[in-house]
Amino acid sequence: MIIGLIIDLELRIWYIIKYHTEALCMEGEKTLSEVRRDNKNRKLRTGESQNKDGRYRYKYTDANGDRKSVYSWRLTDSDPHPKGKKKDISLREKIENIQKAKNDIVSPNGGNMTVLELVQKYLGQKRGVKHNTQANYNFVLNIIKKDPFGAKRIDKVKLSDAKEWLIKLQDDGKGYSSIHSIRGVVRPAFQLAVDDDLIHKNPFEFQLATVVVNKSVTREAITRKQERDFLKFIKEDKHFSQYYDAIYILFHTGLRISEFVGLTIKDIEFDKERIKVDHQLQRTRSMEYVIQTPKTEKGERYVPMKEDVADCFRRIIKNRKKPKVEPMIDGYVGFLCLDKNDMPMVALHWEKYFQHIREKYNSIYKVPMPCITPHVCRHTFCSNMAKSGMNPKTLQYIMGHSDIGVTLNTYTHLQFDDALEEMKKVCNE
């Protein structure tokens, strides 16, 4: 009796084990059979399939929750293009692009930020900004505040939107230089948003010249003859002759006007035949005088001083006004050129002097003098030195350029005659 019960129990256990084993095997076989393959017996991944006509398909859900499909006649890029079918990238390449796009989804919180808010955030991180640079930042901010573009969400700004906005600014009367300044702030601001993963692409990453027409007049160097005629006219004019020495210095040193007006008596080192340049003078819109470091990191330098330039400095110092109270700007005293209020002359003074001189010259002579500014003097000096064969690195040092490319490309205005003369010189050596 007991033995029978045991046998019966063993049989029950055996059947249970057998049943489950067979079930598991069947399940395994079922799973294996469900692995989809294409007509080349290649395994297809989740979402991939192949139609009866041989075309591959991939189903997916986009960022908005909508079901979509993409198709291709090739599974991988190594597959040949079927004859008679339009050439296209492979399905796997399309899937990869879809995945990249999913990874580039804009942050929902960041997307709510406006263009104005982004620019304010970017500028808020700037420290130790010079006066002129800060003035430019304020100019850009005011433009953006007044323009509807400033209220636009940054995740809604497309490449075409950015281009259309800059075109609109020019149509509204903004000059090329102003638009260049605006883009110079907005582009890095959007790059900040990219770096912070708020947006996936910078819509302002394009060449400005391909969108906005540069209608500005390039400040070219004048010829040696024009320089001589201009200086001769100033020297012989009863009124403007008082500015001759300063203008001669600008033509023969390449100093920036802000560097020149910042010079003090002790900066002119006659015994060492050099001019010490380690600061510049600026005047703000609120009429505040400030001393700043030179424009570039290479700006601190000693500029060689030839005897004719030294003579000009000696006359300026000799004829310098004796103010009742010597003006002091941020600890600096002894500025070379003072105005009627016994304050140092600034760039604006000299811009006006150049303008009036040119106007009088052109009212007398039939052949007009081109626009000449203190910066044109700097252009001209650099160009003359380049034509004379000065080593580019030496010229870079004298000019205070941080990048030699600026020295070579921006300031050296060489013409065909210069090239011809140089070629003859080289060939005859």
* Active site residue ranges: 256, 295, 375, 378, 401, 411
Q: Going edge to edge, which strands form the sheet with 48-50?
A: 48-50, 56-61, 67-72
- Report the distance separating Cα 385 and Cα 228, nearest Å: 16
What is the C-alpha to C-alpha distance for residues 283 and 355, in angstroms, rounded to an integer? 20
| Separation of alpha carbons 50 and 74, rounded Å | 10
The CA distance from 102 to 395, in Å, is 52
Determine whether 41 is exposed, middle or buried from the number of CB atoms within 10 Å of its CB (0-12, 13-18, 19+): exposed
Closest CA to 74 of 47, 38, 37: 38
- Name the CA dihedral angle for 225, 228, 230, 235, rounded to a multiple of 10 degrees: -160
Query: Rg for the chain (alpha carbons), in Å?
Result: 37
d(CA 179, CA 347): 23
Q: Is 316 exposed, middle or buried (0-12, 13-18, 19+ CB in 10 A)?
A: middle
Of the candidates 189, 201, 97, the one whose C-alpha atom is nearest the C-alpha of residue 155 is: 201
Residue 353, H or E segment: helix 347-364
Q: Sign of torsion, CA 16 22 23 24?
A: positive
- According to DSSP, the β-strands at 280-283 and 301-304 are unpaired
Instruction: Render 364-423 in DSSP notation, one character per residue.
Output: H-SSPPPP--HHHHHHHHHHHHHHTT--HHHHHHHHT-SSHHIIIIIS----HHHHHHHH
